Every structure is written in C-alpha cells, then in structure tokens.
Chain A
Amino acid sequence: MSKIQTIIRSLRNGHRLVRPLAAASVPDVVRPMRLYSSQGGKAPDGIPSIETRATGASSESEKEDQQYEEDVKARILEKALGFVAASGWSVEALGAGAEAAGYPGVSHRLFPNGGADLVHYFNVKCNEDLVTQMKSWPKEDLTESKVPTKFVENAIVTRLQMLEPYKASWPKAMAIQALPSNVPNCLATLLSLVDDICYHSGDRSVDFNWYIRRVGLAGIYKAAELFYLTDSSAGNSGTRAFVAARIRDAQLIQTAMNMNPVSVAPQTLTAAFVTAKNILGINTLK
C-alpha cells in the first residue's frame, strides 16, 4: 500500500514514471527537466541532474545556474500566455512570448514540447494560485462523518474560473494534454491539484480513504471541467450546481460503502429476492 502512495506522490512531484513513446527511439536525449514551479520545497530528488558531477561550492553555483534558466523559461512562458487568445496553445504563442520577453522567436525551442509545455506551466501556476487562496479560506468543522462540501465546491469552482480568459481555446489545451506523451505531466498536475484541495480541506487520513478521496475528486474535477466549457450561465452558476450535485453523489456512494454489512443484510436480501422474482416473471406487484 505504501508503494502505491509513493508512486502517487512521485507523480505529483512531476516525476515521469511513464516514459513517453516519443522518447523511446532516442534514449540518449537528455530530457530537459520540467520544473516550472517556483516552490523550492518541491524540488525533485529522484531526477538525475547535472549536479551529480559536481560537489561542494560548484554544485551551489550550478543550482544558481539552473534557477536562472528556470527563471528565463518562466518569464517567456508568462509572456506567452498573453498570446494564447490570438495564437492558441502553440509554438507561435511561445515565439511571440519569447519576443515579448526580449529574446528572439527561435528560443521557443527551449520548450521542446511546444504547446504542451505552455499548458503544463499554466496548470502548475493555477494550482499554486489556488493553494495561496485556499490557505486564507476558513476551515470547516471536520468530524468523522462530515465532508467539507462547501470548501471543496468553492475550490473546484475557483480553479475552473481561472480558465475563464482561455475558455475559447481550452478544449484544444485538453486535447493536447490527452496526447500520450503529455499524459504523465497532465496526471501529475491533476493529482497535485486534488491533493492540495484534500489537504487544505482538512483531510489527514492515512487509510484507504486517502486514495478514494483523491481519485473521486479528480473524477469530479474533470467532469466539471467538461461541463464548464459549455456552461454559458451567468457567473457560472450552472457549473457550481453541477459540482454540488457531483459532490452529493460522491457522498451517497461513500455512505453506501460505509454501511455495516450486517445491518443492511435484510435490505440486500429483499432486493435480491425481488430481482429474482422479476427475472422469473412471478412478480405480483404489477
């Protein structure tokens, strides 16, 4: 069980468990590390980096170099977001962003995955924004049975509203994320999102519920994302209602799963009996 947890954690940290098909033919390519997060604490520890060949003071300066490179990349990506409305999640947007940041257009190849890197950056950025916002929200009382529905609903809707400026081109972004080579990054950001929401809503579970909550929440988020794309109601009230309904569903499922098997045995037996009667065509309750 702890192994699965480690795997999910590592995915969350952006480790690439699944090597994309594209890389299989060129195993010697040193893949640029994709870490656009500004949070120092999230630095990956499993990824082999250039630092391995240096020690002491020189590793310090290499860390600085790496930070500098990440800063340049982040600056270009930030500017590129401004061109998404015009050029989509594309190489053109990256090129225009590079020019806006004072570099020539060809430096868009700092991001070998083109639009996918831009989408990834945007996701990571939004997740970080959401975490800062969530920290200031009031915590709901969390007793054993109560689910912080309002908090989770707010978190999902807030996160979806961050897509507002890019709503027209977001279907394209979702398509880019669904490409096999981009799936690991996409899953990593999604898991980091639901993990953050669970954590800040007060989830401290260490049992199997840990997984159920996160997977369930991920499902709700992705469904809501699809709903949101075609939601034209004022203030996205439709999306809010949709999210609330899905959370209710999830609660129902959880209630059903938490039921004591012995206490529900008569109901289960009755249901089985009725079903059998239905099948045999001897149901008298017509």
Chain B
Amino acid sequence: MALRRPICRLLSSGRSTRARQVRAVHADTASHDDNKTKQTHFGFQTVDEQEKWKKVHEVFETVAGKYDLMNDAMSLGIHRVWKDIFMQRLAPLHGTKLLDVAGGTGDITFRYLNYLKNLGPAPANKRSQVTVCDINQAMLDVGKARAQRLGYTAESGVDIQWMCGDAESLALPDDSYSAYTIAFGIRNCTHVDKVLEEAYRVLAPGGRFMCLEFSQLPNQQMQWLYDQYSFQVIPVLGQLLAGQWKPYQYLVESIRQFPNQEKFKSMIEEAGFRQVTYENLTFGVVAIHSGFKI
C-alpha cells in the first residue's frame, strides 16, 4: 500500500520539466515581489517567512531519527567522504574554538574531535572547544545520544557544548569563535544573509567560515542526470526507508532553490568575509565555501 504512491510518482514523467519551469518562474518572481516581502520559498512553494520556519522545523522533527540512515541511502554513503574532505579543508589545530551550526546529529563535530585526536596530544596551555548549535532539539538529542555511545566526553580533551538556537540570531558574544562550520544547513534558513552576518559577528578576527552545501553542476548533462535521480529516486527512498515523502520532496526542491557557487560566494563576500574560495566535490553536487574574517 505504502508503495503505491511512490510508484505512481515514479511513473509520472515530465515531472522534472515542471520542476525546471517552476525554477525559472521562481527566479523571476523573487526579484519582483519585493513589495510583498515576507514571502519566501519552501522548496518550490512560495510561503510566508513565518510558515517556512515552522515547516522546516517540522521536516527535521519528523526525519531526525532516520536522518543518518537516509543520508547514507540517498548519497550512497558519499556524504561521509564529503564531510571528511570538509574537515580536511578546515584543518583545525589544537586550541581551535569551533561553532558547528546546524550540526545536530554531530557528523561534523565528531570528525572535528577525531581530527584533533589524530594530531596527537594537545599542549597543556591549549584547550579546544566545540559548540554544536541546532535549531531543532530533536536533532540535538540524536547527536547527544551518539556522542554518549561513541564515547566523546569532556574527558577526551575537548569541551563539547550543545546549544539549541537559531543561526539567524545566535545568543553568543561577538568575536568568540575561531571557526564556524555549517554543513547542509544554510539552505534551510529563511534569511541566508542574516546567517552570514551572524557568522561574521561571532567569529574572532582571523576566524574562518566554512560551509558545505549542495550546489549546482556546471555541466548540463550531468545536471539532468542528477535531476532525474533527485526527483525520481530520493522521495521514493524517503517513502520506503523513512515512511515520509514530503520531507524528501522538500529536500531536493530546496537544493534547486539555493544559489549557485558563484552567487553564494558573492553573498559571503558581501557579509564581509575575505579570501572567499569554493571547491566543488563530485562534479558540483556539493561545494565547500570558505572565507576569512581578516
């Protein structure tokens, strides 16, 4: 029974054509409806800003338990490699104070802790620290439980704090962190520019902003292939493995709505960051953006 709907969707071809139309239409309206404001996108739907916040919240509340399983299934496990590369690019040293925003289930945080462990014992005067911030308590709970299970405690030499908070208004003092990471999270925020401004505020001078996010493929054919996979396979997987269609439909749509590499780079520069660079992984399915507050 549960299979019927996915299969129906699977058969309804021409879906991606619609998707592309919607994308084009959206790009058009986004510039025109400034006077209406308060409107934003939720996947391909246009919703009130308040509503988007609520809807995103619901999505992650419902998927939290299956989040890690679904990541593995949808990316064929490649998301682990992406995150490993992401941590290699950050290359933290002992004494780093990391703020991991939207890091609820701890994927980035645990890699950070591992990376520090592999550097060897920390000098006595340097204590590293990580603050995991997520807007969703359900995701944080999953992360906390994993940390317990994997044995990442304060005794391992790094202070871990779990904080429930909004990336657009962090309850943290200025200039208090040396690195800010956000992996697969900034896409879900209503005001990306506000998130970037907050990142700039909480980072100390010399601090680094790093973002891992889905992006767009520069190659048309590859993008087509990727579109097929996203729209035809991912929601089906969601239905089969997590029993949810809507959240995964939202996932792939929100990826299409997110600005491409160059656009996002200029947004980071507008927030005040310097030396902004990006690197494509897997042909541009995801991109790592990096900037410094100097």
Contact A106 B277 (CB under 8 A): no
Report, as a range, how many residues of chain B touch the other chain: 20 to 34
Of the listed stretches A95-103, A183-191, A204-212, name the one at the interface; the rest are far from the partner chain: A95-103
How far does the alpha carbon of A91 sit from the alpha carbon of B218 in the complex, in Å? Answer: 33
Assess whether A148 is interfacial by the CB under 8 Å rule: no
B261 within 8 A of A: yes
- Alpha-carbon distance A28/B274, docked complex (angstroms): 18
The interface-forming segment of A107-115, A171-179, A239-247, A271-279 is A107-115
Q: In chain B between 235 and 294, which residues have their CB closer than 8 angstroms to a CB of chain A?
A: 261, 274-275, 277-280, 284, 290, 292, 294
CB of A40 closer than 8 Å to a CB of B: no
* Distance (whole angstroms) from the CB of B109 to the closest CB of chain A: 15
Q: Is the CB of B93 within 8 A of A69?
A: no
A109 touching B89 by the CB < 8 A rule?
yes
The residue of chain B having its C-beta at the shortest distance from the C-beta of A105 within the complex is: B93
Interface residues of chain B: helix, strand, loop or mixed (majority): strand
Report chain B residues within 8 Å CB of A99: 95
Chain B residues contacting A107 (CB-CB under 8 Å) are: 178, 206-208, 292, 294
Q: Are A108 and B93 in contact (CB under 8 A)?
A: yes
Contacts of A235 in B (CB 8 A): none
Q: How many residues on chain A are close to B (CB under 8 Å)?
A: 22
Quote the shortest CB–CB distance from A87 to chain B (angstroms): 11
The answer to whether B294 touches A106 (Cβ under 8 A) is: no
The answer to whether B292 touches A110, judged by C-beta atoms less than 8 angstroms apart, is: yes
Grouping DSSP codes into helix (H, G, I), strand (E, B) and loop, the A interface class, with mixed when no group exceeds half, is helix
Asked whether B90 lies within 8 Å of A69 as measured between CB atoms, the reply is no
Residue A26 is within 8 A (CB to CB) of chain B in the complex: yes
Contact of A106 among B179, B218, B284 (CB under 8 A): B179
Q: Is A51 an interface residue (CB 8 A)?
A: no
Which residues of chain B are near A104, meaning CB under 8 Å?
A: 95-97, 178-179, 204, 206-207
Residues of A within 8 A of B261 (CB): 28
Q: A28-B261, A72-B294, A91-B91 are in contact. Are A105 and B178 (CB under 8 A)?
A: yes
* Shortest CB distance A117–B (Å): 13
Inter-subunit contact A106/B274 (CB<8 Å) = no
Closest to A101 in B: B206
Q: How many Å from the CB of B82 to the closest CB on chain A?
A: 13
Q: Is the CB of B218 within 8 A of A28?
A: yes
Instruction: Kindly list the 8 A-B residue pairs having the minimum CB-CB distance in the complex, ordered from nearest.
Output: A103-B206, A104-B178, A105-B93, A107-B206, A95-B93, A106-B179, A72-B294, A29-B279
A sample of 6 more A-B contacts (CB under 8 A), given A29-B279, A106-B208, is: A91-B91, A102-B205, A103-B206, A103-B294, A105-B92, A105-B96
List B residues at the A interface (Cβ < 8 Å): 89-97, 178-179, 204-208, 218, 261, 274-275, 277-280, 284, 290, 292, 294
List 8 A-B pairs, Cβ < 8 Å. Answer: A28-B280, A32-B277, A104-B178, A105-B93, A106-B206, A107-B207, A107-B208, A108-B93
